[in-house]
Structure 1
Amino acid sequence: MKKNDKAARNARLSLVGGNVPAAAETVEGYRSSLEHLTDELERLELRLRLQLVLEDKTFPGNGLPALPFLEGHLPTFPEGEAEVSPETDAGHFSQELARLTRRIAQKVEASHQSGIKLPLPRLSQQLKLKPLEEDILIACLAPELDRRFEAMYAYLQDDLTSRSPTVDILLRLFTSTEEERAAARLIFDKASPLMRVLMDTAGEWKDSRIPLLAKPLKLENWTVNHLLGFQMLDERLLEAAELCFPHLEPQPAAASLLAGTAEDIVRFVRYYSTKETIPHHLFYCCGPDGAEAVNAIKAACISLERPLLMVNTDSLPILDGDYTQLLGLLGRHTLLDDTVLCLVGFDSLTAEGEGDRSRRRIKPLLEMLCSCAPLAFIVGESSWSQQLPDREMNFIQIDLTPPNEQHRLTMWEHYSRDYTLLPQIDLTEFTDKFRFTPGQIRAALRNGENLAVWKGSGAAESLDGSPAPIGEKELYESCYLQSGRSLQALATKVKPFYSWDMLVLPTDQTDQLREICRQMKHRALVYGRWGFDKRLSLGKGMNVMFAGPPGVGKTMAAEVIAGELSLELYKIDVSQIVSKYIGETEKNLSRIFKEAETSNAILFFDEADALFGKRTEVKDAHDRYANVETSYLLQKMEEYTGIVILATNLSQNLDEAFLRRLHARVEFPFPEKPQREAIWRGMFPKDAPLDANLDYAFMADKLNLAGGSIKNIALNAAFFAAHEGSPIGMRHIMLAAKREYIKQGKTFLKTDYDPYDKLMEV
Structure 2
Amino acid sequence: MSDDLGGLLARIGAVERRLRQAVAERRAADPNPDDQFRGLYLSDEAIDALLEAGREPFPPPEEAASGPPRLTALADAAGLSDLDVELLLVAMAPDVDSRFEQFYGYLNDDVTRRRATLGLALRLCGLVEADVHGRARFDAAAPLLACGLIVLGDTERPLLSRTLRVPDRVTAHLLGGDGCDPVAAPFVEEAAPVACGDARLASAVAAGAGLVYLHEGLGGSAASAAAAAFAAAGRATLAVDCRLLPTKPEDLPEAATALAREAVLRGAGIAAGPVDAGTCTALLARLEHVPVPLVLFGSGGWDPEWSRRQPLLLNVGVANRAERADLWRDAAGPALAAGVDLAAETAHFTLSVRQIHRAAEAAAQLARAEGEPIRAEHLRYGVRSQNAAGLEHLARRIEPAVDWNDLVLPPPILDGIRELAVRARRRDLVLDEWRMRPGAGRGMGVTGLFAGDSGTGKTMSAEVIAADLGMDLYTVNLATVVDKYIGETEKNLEKIFTEAAGVNGVLLFDEADAIFGKRSEVRDAHDRYANVESAYLLQRMESFEGLAILATNLRANLDEAFTRRLDVVVDFPVPDPEQRLLLWDRCLGKAMPRAADLDLAFLADAFELAGGHIRSAAVTAGYLTAEAGGRATMATVVAAVAREYRKLGRLCLEREFGDYLELVI
Question: TM-score interval w.r.t. the shorter chain?
Answer: 0.7 to 0.9
1:18 maps to none
Which residue among 533, 538, 541 is the counterpart of 2:436? 533
- For 1:321, give the aligned amino acid: E
Task: Please provide the CA RMSD for this pair.
Answer: 4.9
Gapped regions of structure 2 (runs ≥ 5)? 37-52
1:668 maps to 572
1:450 maps to 365
Spell out the pairing of 1:362-761 with structure 2 (5 A cutoff).
362-387=280-305, 389-390=307-308, 393=309, 395-412=311-328, 418-423=334-339, 425-456=340-371, 458=372, 469-483=373-387, 485-498=389-402, 503-506=407-410, 508-517=412-421, 526=430, 531=434, 533=436, 538=442, 541-563=445-467, 567-578=471-482, 582=488, 584-596=491-503, 599=504, 601-615=505-519, 627=531, 629-640=533-544, 643-672=547-576, 675-677=579-581, 679-696=583-600, 698-700=602-604, 702-748=606-652, 753-760=657-664
Distance 2:577 2:563 in 1: 31
User: Which SS does the other structure have where 1:433 is aligned?
Assistant: coil
- For 2:283, give the aligned amino acid: L
Specify whether residues 739 and 311 from structure 1 end up closer, same or farther in structure 2 by C-alpha distance, changes over 3 A only. Answer: closer
**1:521 CA drift (Å):** 6.0
Distance 1:415 1:520 in 2: 24
- For 1:271, give the aligned amino acid: A
Task: Indicate if the aligned counterparts of 2:387 and 2:502 stay in contact, CA closer than 8 A.
Answer: yes
Q: Which has the higher contact order (CA 8 A, sep 6+)?
A: 2
More displaced stretch, 722-731 vs 225-234: 225-234
**1:271 CA drift (Å):** 3.1
Task: Indicate if the aligned counterparts of 1:714 and 1:733 stay in contact, CA closer than 8 A.
Answer: yes
CA-to-aligned-CA distance 1:681-725 (integer Å, 9 cap, x gap): 554323433344445555445534333223323332333233333
**1:658 CA drift (Å):** 0.7
Answering whether residue 183 of structure 2 is matched by residue 237 of structure 1, we say: yes
Aligned length: 637
User: Which SS does the other structure have where 1:571 is aligned?
Assistant: strand
CA-to-aligned-CA distance 1:381-400 (integer Å, 9 cap, x gap): 4444343544xx56123422
Specify whether residues 401 and 743 from structure 1 end up closer, same or farther in structure 2 by C-alpha distance, changes over 3 A only. Answer: same
Specify whether residues 617 and 586 from structure 1 end up closer, same or farther in structure 2 by C-alpha distance, changes over 3 A only. Answer: farther
**1:495 CA drift (Å):** 4.4
CA-to-aligned-CA distance 1:230-274 (integer Å, 9 cap, x gap): 677785624445599x9xxxxxxx9x641786x7545334434xx
Distance 1:123 1:602 in 2: 49
CA-to-aligned-CA distance 1:610-662 (integer Å, 9 cap, x gap): 12122456688876665555444434433456543211111111122111112
Distance 2:224 2:567 in 1: 39
1:286 maps to 216
Task: Indicate if the aligned counterparts of 2:452 and 2:554 stay in contact, CA closer than 8 A.
Answer: yes
Answering whether residue 251 of structure 2 is matched by residue 322 of structure 1, we say: yes
Specify whether residues 551 and 157 from structure 1 end up closer, same or farther in structure 2 by C-alpha distance, changes over 3 A only. Answer: closer
Spell out the pairing of 1:2-21 with structure 2 (5 A cutoff).
none
**1:117 CA drift (Å):** 6.0
Specify whether residues 625 and 422 from structure 1 end up closer, same or farther in structure 2 by C-alpha distance, changes over 3 A only. Answer: farther
Which residue among 21, 26, 40 is the counterpart of 1:46? 21
- For 2:254, give the aligned amino acid: Q
Distance 2:592 2:189 in 1: 65
Task: Indicate if the aligned counterparts of 1:486 and 1:595 stay in contact, CA closer than 8 A.
Answer: no
User: Which SS does the other structure have where 2:569 is aligned?
Assistant: strand
User: Which SS does the other structure have where 2:632 is aligned?
Assistant: coil
Specify whether residues 721 and 431 from structure 1 end up closer, same or farther in structure 2 by C-alpha distance, changes over 3 A only. Answer: closer
- For 1:217, give the aligned amino acid: T
- Normalising by structure 1, report the TM-score: 0.68
Answering whether residue 11 of structure 2 is matched by residue 36 of structure 1, we say: yes
Give the share of equivalent positions with the same residue, in percent: 29
Task: Indicate if the aligned counterparts of 2:447 and 2:549 stay in contact, CA closer than 8 A.
Answer: yes
User: Which SS does the other structure have where 2:642 is aligned?
Assistant: helix
Specify whether residues 419 and 717 from structure 1 end up closer, same or farther in structure 2 by C-alpha distance, changes over 3 A only. Answer: closer
User: Which SS does the other structure have where 2:211 is aligned?
Assistant: strand
Distance 2:623 2:330 in 1: 55
Which residue among 312, 334, 342 is the counterpart of 2:270? 342
CA-to-aligned-CA distance 1:106-127 (integer Å, 9 cap, x gap): x46xx49x9996489779964x
**Higher Cα Rg: structure 1 or 2?**
1
**1:540 CA drift (Å):** 5.2
**1:565 CA drift (Å):** 5.2
Task: Indicate if the aligned counterparts of 1:286 and 1:399 stay in contact, CA closer than 8 A.
Answer: yes
- Normalising by structure 2, report the TM-score: 0.77
User: Which SS does the other structure have where 2:615 is aligned?
Assistant: helix
**1:439 CA drift (Å):** 3.8
**1:510 CA drift (Å):** 4.1
- For 2:320, give the aligned amino acid: N
More displaced stretch, 620-629 vs 184-193: 184-193
Task: Indicate if the aligned counterparts of 1:243 and 1:307 stay in contact, CA closer than 8 A.
Answer: no
**1:594 CA drift (Å):** 0.9
Task: Indicate if the aligned counterparts of 1:284 and 1:377 stay in contact, CA closer than 8 A.
Answer: yes
